[in-house]
Amino acid sequence: MNDTKPVSKVLVLDDDLLHADTIKRFCDENNLVGVKVRKSRLLSVLRANIDLGAILLHESYGGSLDEAAAIANRIYAVRPELPIIMRRERRATMDDLPESLRQILCAVYVASDITPLRDVIDKYIFSLDYPNALVRGISEISESMLTTLFKELTIASERPSIVRDRIIFGEVFSLIALESAWCRGYMMIQAEEEPLLALLDQRRSGSSSAASADFRDLNDLLGELTNMIWGAFKNRFLGEVDPTRAQVQVPLLVNHRQKYISFGSDNPQLCFVYELTDEQSGRSVKLHQRFVFSLSWSPEAFSEIAEQPGATVGAGELDLF
């Protein structure tokens, strides 16, 4: 399997053991990661920070079609951006379903024919084609910048993923625009405040006069990291922006209470997760990095910018022999 091709997490609400292997095989073959949750924890998980691409719901989940419909409506109320796909027992049709349920389902399928499932996954999750060189390059740039800023920490990363949810991870995030001939959108880095402050405090522990880190220190650090990644990303992928192109804008919407952010587009987002760990204390913190190409996306025009001879020497990355 190509490790640079993003995967997507799908929440599987299906207790039928007879079809568990079919669903697992489908996930394995289509770059999906199936995750399950106890019914009692469903809504709390949906409200939490979990990166999801879709919901796979069995028509009798919870014991009956009525209960499954009620669960689907609760999911839609909490996370309307997530496509809900229902597995039916006999016919892949919505004609006999309640109208309220038909309005929120994206598709139905039966285990004997999963073509509709594959079609809706392609439409809602993998609708944008991310070049391998771009995905690999983002990982390389980001891990390099993290290593530069956190030399004393171990940096690990999860496999890149595609998400459709709009839930903000943590309490603080940075946002910077990305513009080129082949894309327009944003890069966002999200973090939980307390674990990151704890790591900053630990860095200062060797100095008796150092004050405890506060949110301003965290903001400065996150801003510096964002600028470093953006600068390297721009030099490698963006190039110059054509000033004659019409620059359409759409409003961003942030609801702090609901930890929700919208970029005015239904496009899925490309997500990277990095974990920074101090091996001595065991403390760790996760950073979520998202790329939202909400304003323009033309991957056919994507290309890496050739590095000019001597550029790495001038930047101090290489020494002359």
Kindly state the average pLDDT of the residues 70-75: 95
Give CA torsion, residues 155, 226, 187, 9, to 10 deg: 20
Kindly state the average pLDDT of the residues 63-90: 94
The architecture in CATH of the region 132-314 reads: 3-Layer(aba) Sandwich (3.40)
* Every domain range in the chain assigned CATH 3.40.50.2300: 8-124
Kindly state the average pLDDT of the residues 237-245: 71
Give the pLDDT confidence of 244-295 residue by residue, as tens digits.
Answer: 665 677 888 988 888 889 988 888 999 999 999 998 888 899 999 999 999 9
Would you place residue 309 in the very low, low, confident or very high pLDDT band (cuts 50, 70, 90)?
Answer: very low
pLDDT of residue 174: 95
pLDDT of residue 1: 45
CATH of 8-124, one of 3.40.920.10, 3.40.50.2300, 1.10.1380.10, 1.10.287.110: 3.40.50.2300
Candidates 75, 80, 83; CA nearest to 42 is 75
Residue, of 229 and 16, whose pLDDT is higher: 229
* Every domain range in the chain assigned CATH 3.40.1550.10: 132-314
Would you place residue 122 in the very low, low, confident or very high pLDDT band (cuts 50, 70, 90)?
Answer: very high
pLDDT of residue 306: 64
| Residue % of the chain over a pLDDT of 70 | 89
pLDDT of residue 244: 60
pLDDT of residue 315: 45
Kindly state the average pLDDT of the residues 12-37: 92
pLDDT of residue 131: 93
pLDDT of residue 219: 93
pLDDT of residue 317: 45
Candidates 51, 220, 232, 31; CA nearest to 143 is 232
Predicted model pTM: 0.86
Residue, of 245 and 176, whose pLDDT is higher: 176
| Residue % of the chain over a pLDDT of 90 | 62
Give the pLDDT confidence of 178-206 residue by residue, as tens digits.
Answer: 999 899 999 999 999 999 998 888 877 65
Residue 104 has pLDDT above 70, yes or no: yes
